[in-house]
Amino acid sequence: MTALSGRTAAGLDRVVRFGDVRYDFHVRHGHSAWDDLRARLAGLDADRFVVIADAGLPDAMVAAAELALSSVAPTLVLSAEADETRKHLAALDRLAEQALKSGITRRSVVVALGGGVIGNVAGLLAALLFRGIRLVHLPTTLLGMSDSVLSLKQAVNSRCGKNHLGTFHAPVLVWNNLDFLETLPADEIRSALCEMIKNVLGIVPERYDEVASLLRTDGRYTPEVLTRFIDLCVDAKTAVMREDHTEKHEALVLEYGHTTGHAAELLTGGRLRHGYAIGIGMLAAARMSRELGLLDLSDELAHRRLLELNGAPTRLPAELGTDAVLDVVRLDNKRGYVPGRSGALDFILLEALGRAHRPGGKLITQVDEDTVRLGIESVLSDRYALVGA
């Protein structure tokens, strides 16, 4: 995966490539942004747009998007809950039935209007309809803009865990309007930036000081700084996905913090925001790495510093227990990259900032359950907080 072009006076223009796949990626803001979108949509020659919209979006935002799309082709807006507990096959089936009854064809385009959950649902819908029709992302969250749309992965949850049912399907266009972010609570911004922090810690540590100087605990940023953050995320993800568009080799580092994080997110029914869960998951992973002699204390502290500068939580909700988190971790979707070992669980760990641990040349580290338990407990109780700091 490579990315071309970059920031301009208008915003950000990049062409993202995953091997032979490529798509345009744009960031805009201000009134003229809608004219830019209409021009790009017209080039798709679609006979219909089916919009999968987050049911929680402001009516004015959905109406503005519908107006832009319907000026290009007939448009149907379908509502979906941006809720991890409703991100399942039954919801997908309902949307597929409505889309098919509307007259959707192979020339039609599915449009995702929402954050990561909606992007996943719409992406998998587009991948499955007629064995694959075109997909456009209009992300309405910073997490969507900076993370989830920079991937071909589309998935929904099973009854056993997160993102077990899915495939790979590329968008034809990603169009980001920073004006969408104006209605978001500060927690949404801070949560999204935890994924950017993951990219800094795991892939581009040379950007550490730059990011540390820009982060704010209040989550308030100018469009220019937000564009800079998004551009950094494009750079980081392209660095590891250039030859790994299915994210099974070098790009597995993007899963750093996700093993414990996904478990916490699932157990709280999504009440713990995704980015916050991943941030806490990174702290658990950093503690495991230090216990295994991979990371030193300064590296572990470096994790915590960026999260605190971002105003993000560093503890799991008190109602979660170690055993409950462990039970979900045992069903994590990274199982099987390496042969399983009794009494050990698979994690992505770092041996230095920007350098993943590679036992046997693989990015998967099998961690004994006692060490995993200690890592989880370190983010559940102050009793385990940074011994030696």
CB contact set of 31 (below 8 Å; sequence gap of 6+): none
Question: In the numeric block, which tokens belong to residue 311?
Answer: 């105003």
Q: Where are the beta strands (DSSP E) in 19-162?
A: 21-28, 49-54, 75-80, 109-114, 134-139, 153-156
Which residue is catalytic, options 247, 255, 265, 300?
Answer: 255
Location of structure tokens 């104006």: 182
Nearest CA-CA partner of 120 in 158, 168, 181:
168
Residue 101 designated active-site: no
Asked if 48 and 109 touch (Cβ cutoff 8 Å), the reply is yes
Calpha distance 166→373 (Å, rounded): 29
255 is catalytic: yes
DSSP state of 229: H
Q: What Å distances lie between residue 187 and 89, 104, 168, 252, CA to CA?
A: 29, 37, 30, 27
**Residue 263 Ramachandran class (φ > 0 left, ψ -120 to 50 alpha, else beta):** alpha
Residues forming the active site: 153, 255
